[in-house]
């Protein structure tokens, strides 16, 4: 194939891929090439813009390290993560909705007994979280595994802090035989996603802020159920309608009740303010695997 021009290049690239044997890869690559070319045609992409785009993606890659995933931030702030989450987790009415995973989950968070302090010394006001894990038909999900993670009062996850020695604001618990769970932590506050890199510069150039409304992350799993990755958001937060990663769903917004003082849910007497959050999760039965074409 020679003498390709702006009219013929797209078909030529697709024809070159004709022998791809992986059908799913062929579907994805064919569509990606078509959309990329259509984009370049639609905006009449200049060489300077093409070079700037290459430099931007190079910078995004160079900003990644074991505690910083700039490509996830890029996907999140462009709404791609919410789109992928939504189309892969369609659930019956009544199930707890899923939302974006974010880049700050770790899979080796410490195990805690019910009632433990997952904050583990993290700075912030105390908060007692409790609720039940149920199926869509209302049955308890005994022993459901709950992985929780959150930022501190300054908006930083433990993994973002240089020199940290132990997990703070994250942990794994198991619901009891009646599907009930409870733990202590700190009150979540709104925070900006890391914005000192290329994604932050992109947001600024587009006139957007980097803030997320206050939330607590959960990943809940149990045999026979679809794993739920979600957050609970704090009602009243300034950023509920402008979350920079488009993750808020009304059904996930809850009241974090402030108590000036009194007897906390763990029976201790507190002369200082503390918060309580009660939130139930409803799991979707496990879905048979489907091949998207």
CB of 141 or CB of 232, closer to ligand BEZ: 232
Alpha-carbon distance of 132 to 182, in angstroms, equals 9
**What is the 3-state secondary structure of 201-263?**
HHHHHCCCCCEECCEEEEEEECCCECCEEEEEEECCCCCCCCCCCCCCCHHHEECCEEECCEE
Q: Using CB under 6 A, which of the segments 98-106, 132-140, 164-172, 264-272 binds ligand BEZ?
A: 98-106
Backbone φ and ψ for 288, nearest 5 degrees, come out as: -65, 145
- Interacting residues with ligand BEZ between 102 and 121 (CB under 6 A): 102-104
Pairing state between β 257-259 and 274-278: antiparallel
Give the interface size with ligand BEZ as a residue count (CB under 6 A).
9
Residue 193 contacts ligand BEZ per CB under 6 A:
yes
C-beta neighbour count of 194 within 10 angstroms: 21
Q: With binding defined as CB under 6 A, does residue 100 bind ligand BEZ? A: yes
Part in contact with ligand BEZ (CB under 6 A); list of ranges 12-20, 29-37, 96-104, 222-230: 96-104
To ligand BEZ, the closest distance from the beta carbon of 140 in angstroms equals 28
Q: 167 in helix, strand or coil?
A: coil
Instruction: CB nearer to ligand BEZ: give 54 or 83.
Output: 83
Which among 274, 268, 275, 273 has a CA at the least distance from the CA of 254? 275
The residue sitting closest to ligand BEZ, measured at its beta carbon, is 102
Q: Using the rule CB under 6 A, is 282 a contact of ligand BEZ?
A: no
> Which is nearer to ligand BEZ, 76 or 158 (by Cβ)?
76
Among 195, 212, 219, 282, binds ligand BEZ (CB under 6 A): 212
- DSSP label at residue 156: -
| Minimum gap (Å) between residue 266 Cβ and ligand BEZ | 27
Closest contact distance (angstroms) between CB of 217 and ligand BEZ is: 6
Q: Does 195 bind ligand BEZ (CB under 6 A)?
A: no
C-alpha to C-alpha distances, 86 to 31, 176, 253, nearest whole angstrom: 20, 30, 17
Which CB atom, from 82 or from 132, has the smaller least distance to ligand BEZ?
82
Stretch that binds ligand BEZ, among 5-13, 59-67, 101-109, 278-286 (CB under 6 A): 101-109
Is 245 among the residues that bind ligand BEZ (CB under 6 A)? yes
The footprint of ligand BEZ on residues 40-79 (CB under 6 A) is 73, 76
No. of H helices and E strands in the chain?
6, 14
**Beta bridge mates, 216:** 232
Report the chain's terminal Cα–Cα distance, integer Å: 29
Binding site for ligand BEZ (CB under 6 A): 73, 76, 100, 102-104, 193, 212, 245
């Amino acid at each position: 194939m020679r003498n390709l021009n702006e009219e013929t290049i797209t078909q030529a690239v697709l024809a070159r891929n004709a022998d791809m044997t992986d059908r799913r890869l062929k579907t994805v690559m064919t569509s990606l090439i078509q959309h990329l070319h259509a984009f370049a045609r639609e905006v009449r992409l200049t060489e300077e813009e093409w070079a700037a785009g290459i430099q931007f993606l190079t910078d995004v890659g160079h900003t990644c390290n074991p505690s910083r995933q700039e490509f996830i931030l890029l996907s999140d702030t462009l709404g791609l993560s919410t789109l992928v989450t939504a189309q892969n987790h369609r659930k019956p009415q009544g199930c707890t909705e899923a939302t974006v995973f974010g880049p700050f989950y770790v899979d080796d968070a410490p195990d805690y007994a019910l009632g433990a302090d997952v904050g583990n010394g993290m700075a912030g006001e105390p908060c007692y979280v409790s609720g039940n894990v149920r199926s869509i038909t209302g049955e308890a999900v005994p022993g459901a595994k709950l992985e929780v993670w959150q930022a501190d009062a300054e908006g930083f996850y433990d993994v973002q802090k240089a020199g940290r020695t132990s997990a703070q604001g994250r942990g794994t618990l198991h619901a009891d035989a009646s599907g009930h769970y409870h733990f202590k932590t700190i009150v979540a506050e709104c925070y900006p996603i890391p914005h000192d890199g290329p994604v932050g510069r992109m947001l600024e150039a587009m006139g957007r802020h980097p803030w997320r409304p206050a939330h607590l992350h959960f990943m809940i799993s149990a045999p026979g159920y679809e794993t739920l990755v979600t957050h609970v958001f704090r009602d009243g937060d300034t950023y509920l309608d402008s979350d920079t990663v488009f993750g808020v769903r009304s059904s996930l917004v809850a009241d974090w009740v402030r108590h000036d003082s009194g007897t906390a849910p763990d029976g201790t007497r507190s002369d200082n303010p503390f918060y309580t959050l009660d939130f139930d999760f409803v799991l979707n039965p496990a879905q048979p695997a489907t091949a998207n074409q």
